[in-house]
């Protein structure tokens, strides 16, 4: 993996909207202020001010924003304003060779998983982490803030990722230990990109998955797709993050979320934990994708053992 440079206070970060729009100028201004409050200067991409239905402007304009910030030597990192919908539409419009030639932190999660999968295909580390408009307003909780800043500024391995204060350790669905590069992100996006050039490669990896607002039967369908493609058989271990608002509908029969996970994941025989604090949840860890990690499912622990930044 090619590793980007760690950020320092006062660095300039480019703010982009690769998916859905921010239609409220005041919210955009507050998002900029939130990043400035973390110690960085902010250059706002044109996509942050554009709107076309459920998209932040045209596909071409959003792709050009990303390319321009990778190519701009004054920009030290690229922060995604929010997720939503639309990142997969621009995967084949971005020249990822520009990103590979100018490695920088690209930070976001949810729909931004599509961009992280593209980065992984060209050998670049990405940061799965809270985004300004989605998570930093009115303020980012202290645990998530500290994790965010450490993920973008540390030149050392992040080490053991402890549960947030007051939260129990993740639950072991299958015991054992595993090591490998940490990959993955939002389950819906990982499933949607199956069969494309940006399909996730899980061979020998620690696979992290999370999602929001999906009922168990829909998660069942997406997980079954990954199972049938061999993604759980190929991986070394599985980390299930936040699955927020994913409860069954009250008026319909359903399997529980845990039953779905056990039915589909456990036959692969891989160490697996459930309830890791990352993704669509508060507080949330910021995770470097593409670097080595160690999973101890028996104790519900995940450690990042390789530095993500230089």
Q: Write the pLDDT tens digit of every residue in 57-91.
A: 999 999 999 999 999 999 999 999 999 999 999 99
For residue 137, what pLDDT is reported?
96
Q: Cα–Cα distance between 89 and 49 in angstroms, integer?
A: 19
User: What angle do the packed helices 257-265 and 216-228 form, to 10 degrees?
Assistant: 10
| Residue 45: strand, helix, or coil | coil
Average pLDDT (299-304) is: 98
Q: Cα–Cα distance between 21 and 82 in angstroms, integer?
A: 8
Q: Cα–Cα distance between 127 and 1 in angstroms, integer?
A: 13
* Active-site residue, selected from the candidate residues 280, 285, 292, 306: 280
Q: Is-catalytic flag, 58?
A: no
Q: How confident is the model at residue 273 (pLDDT cuts 50, 70, 90)?
A: very high
For residue 85, what pLDDT is reported?
97
For residue 202, what pLDDT is reported?
98
Domain 159-304 sits in CATH 3.50.30.60: yes
Q: Cα–Cα distance between 269 and 233 in angstroms, integer?
A: 8
For residue 243, what pLDDT is reported?
98
Q: Is-catalytic flag, 110?
A: yes
Tens digit of each residue's pLDDT (9 = 90 or more) over 145-168: 999 999 999 999 999 999 999 999
Q: Is-catalytic flag, 179?
A: no
Q: Cα–Cα distance between 33 and 37 in angstroms, integer?
A: 6
- Tell me the C-alpha to C-alpha distance, in Å, between residue 281 and each of 25, 46, 64, 135: 26, 29, 31, 9
* Active-site residue, selected from the candidate residues 20, 31, 87, 110: 110
* Active-site residue, selected from the candidate residues 67, 134, 144, 210: 210
The ranges assigned to domains in the chain are 12-153, 159-304
For residue 299, what pLDDT is reported?
97
Using the Cα atoms of residue 232, residue 233, residue 239 and residue 240 in order, give the sign of their dihedral. positive
For residue 283, what pLDDT is reported?
98
Backbone angles phi, psi at 98, to 5 degrees: -65, -45
Using the Cα atoms of residue 253, residue 256, residue 260 and residue 266 in order, give the sign of their dihedral. negative
Q: How confident is the model at residue 201 (pLDDT cuts 50, 70, 90)?
A: very high
Would you state the CATH architecture of domain 12-153? 3-Layer(aba) Sandwich (3.40)
For residue 272, what pLDDT is reported?
98
Average pLDDT (22-28) is: 95
């Amino acid at each position: 993996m090619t590793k980007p440079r760690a950020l320092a206070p006062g660095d300039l970060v480019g703010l982009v909207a690769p998916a859905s729009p921010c239609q409220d100028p005041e919210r955009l201004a507050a998002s900029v202020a939130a990043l400035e409050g973390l110690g960085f200067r902010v250059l706002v991409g044109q996509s942050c001010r554009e709107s076309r239905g459920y998209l932040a402007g045209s596909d071409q304009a959003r792709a050009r924003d990303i390319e321009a910030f990778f190519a701009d030597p004054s920009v030290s990192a690229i922060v995604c304003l929010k997720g939503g919908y639309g990142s997969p539409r621009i995967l084949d419009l971005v020249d990822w060779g520009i990103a590979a030639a100018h490695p920088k932190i690209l930070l976001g999660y949810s729909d931004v998983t599509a961009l992280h999968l593209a980065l992984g295909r060209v050998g670049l580390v990405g940061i799965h982490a809270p985004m300004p408009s989605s998570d930093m307003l009115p303020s980012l909780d202290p645990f998530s803030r500290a994790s965010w800043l450490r993920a973008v500024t540390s030149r050392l391995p992040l080490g053991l990722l402890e549960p947030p204060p007051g939260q129990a350790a993740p639950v072991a669905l299958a015991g054992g230990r595993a090591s490998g590069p940490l990959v993955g992100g939002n389950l819906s996006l990982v499933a949607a990109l199956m069969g494309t050039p940006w399909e996730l490669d899980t061979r020998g990896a620690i696979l992290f998955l999370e999602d929001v607002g999906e009922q168990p039967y829909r998660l069942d369908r997406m997980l079954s797709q990954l199972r049938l493609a061999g993604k759980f058989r190929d991986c070394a271990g599985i980390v299930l993050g936040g699955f927020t608002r994913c409860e069954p509908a009250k008026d319909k029969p359903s399997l529980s979320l845990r039953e779905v996970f056990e039915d589909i994941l456990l036959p692969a025989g891989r160490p697996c934990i459930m309830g890791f604090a990352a993704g669509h949840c508060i507080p949330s860890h910021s995770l470097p994708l593409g670097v080595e990690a160690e999973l101890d499912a028996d104790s519900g622990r995940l450690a990042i053992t390789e530095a993500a930044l230089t």
